[in-house]
Amino acid sequence: MIEVDDLVKHYGTTRAVDGMTFTARPGVVTGFLGPNGAGKSTTMRAVLGLDTPTSGTTRVNGKDYRSSAAPLAEVGALLDGRAFDRSRTARAHLRSVGAAVGVGKRRVEEVLDLAGLTSVADRPAGQFSLGMGQRLGIATSLLADPPVVMLDEPVNGLDPDGITWIRTLTRQLADEGRTVLISSHLMSEMEQTADHLVIVGGGRVITDEPMDDLIARTSGGAVHVVSPGASVLAEALGAQGIEVEQDRSDHLLLHGTTAAHVGDLARDLGVAVHELTPRRKSLEQIFMELTADAVTYRSHTDTDAAPAEPTGDSDA
């Protein structure tokens, strides 16, 4: 478990993290999302003891991570996929890390295979592509079989096969009861991967809730129905106070209800339904709406907003 409690971090006069509080729990893939400069990387570094909080606390499995007797066996972290000696082979890199934490050669071969690097294990890591470097970084994070895994932009540089691998791997780790915290800007992937979301902006938590609850809450309960008995359904739903739009004789768009409710009502009325589809916003749409006022670095094409002052947090 990762616990962040009222975390504040100043860099000079810049407040990079401003009272951050959230918990990442075992058995759950928690997505940690926010625009550049939101404080994500600073928070993750504080959890790992790499940055000292100005105030507030971070705990891993109930204690300060800096007090851990075997840090790599407690948290597997990927903050920089290129953090290795470029002259060493992938196998030599993992063996050197393993020797430092009491992990043997057999486990090195296991994580090489897990990361799909066995065939290139004896190549210098400096020759690796960005995606292969990410795979090596993830293999390193899992070397000591930690119960907590924290990954910053793990799909950076990966091809579609690699992205699918990360999605499957993180799900497997959570299903094994591990705590998995992932920071990413790839919203379409997070929508398929995360169970719970912590969305931050300006160093503060904007929302902290399960993925399905967030999407349902922000999508407004719209349902699209195709039915030869659309008029019958529309009359019955309208009588329940549900807003009904009927753009064609057999098409309805309903607001303020659920697909389950409509399906049950259609069954009770004996009305055939050919299509019943919840209309929901994508995570990307929701993210953009929630963080609209928390974007630190705006491109010059954002003509409807004045440039924001930089925070000094080089958060990715």
Where residue 262 falls (left for φ over 0; alpha for ψ -120 to 50; beta otherwise) is alpha
Co-location of 67 and 168 in the same domain: yes
The answer to whether residues 188 and 269 belong to one domain is: no
- Residue pair 242/255 in contact by the 8 Å Cβ criterion: yes
172 and 261 together in one domain:
no
How many domains does the chain contain in total?
2
Residue 55 lies in a domain: yes
Q: Which residues pair with 57 in a beta bridge?
A: 5
Residue 172 lies in a domain: yes
Q: Give residue 271's pLDDT.
A: 94
Q: Which residues of the chain have pLDDT under 50?
A: 303, 305-316
Per the domain annotation, does 120 fall within a domain? no
pLDDT of residue 295: 66
Of 215, 238, 271, the residue that ends a domain is: 215
Strands 29-33 and 196-201: parallel
Mark whether 15 and 50 lie in a shared domain. Answer: yes
128 falls within a domain = no
- For residue 316, what pLDDT is reported? 41
Do both 10 and 31 map to the same domain? yes
- Residue 134 parent element (H or E): helix 130-141
Domain assignment of residue 265, given as a range: 222-279
Q: Determine how β-strand 2-11 pairs with β-strand 243-248.
A: unpaired
Same domain for 69 and 16, yes or no, is yes
Report pLDDT digits (tens) over 101-139. Answer: 888 999 999 999 999 999 999 999 888 998 899 999 999
Residues 6 or more apart whose CB falls under 8 angstroms from that of 272 comprise 227, 228, 229, 266
Tell me what pLDDT residue 309 has.
45
Q: How many angstroms separate the Cα of 69 from the Cα of each of 18, 46, 108?
A: 30, 18, 21
Amino acid (1-letter code) at residue 33: L
Q: Domain holding 246: CATH number? A: 3.30.70
- CATH number of residue 46's parent domain: 3.40.50.300
Phi, psi (deg, nearest 5) at residue 180 = -125, 120
Which tokens belong to 245? 């739009």
Residue 121 belongs to a domain = no
- Please check whether residue 293 lies inside any domain of the structure: no
Provide the β-strand partners of residue 71: none
State how far the Cα of 106 lies from the Cα of 24, in Å rounded to an integer: 31
Indicate if 150 and 68 belong to the same structural domain.
yes
Report strand pairing: 204-210 vs 196-201: antiparallel
- Measured distance CA(272)–CA(228) in Å, rounded: 7
The answer to whether residue 91 is domain-embedded is: no
Does some domain include residue 258? yes
Residue with tokens 């300006």: 202
Res 218: pLDDT: 83
70 and 6 in a common domain:
yes
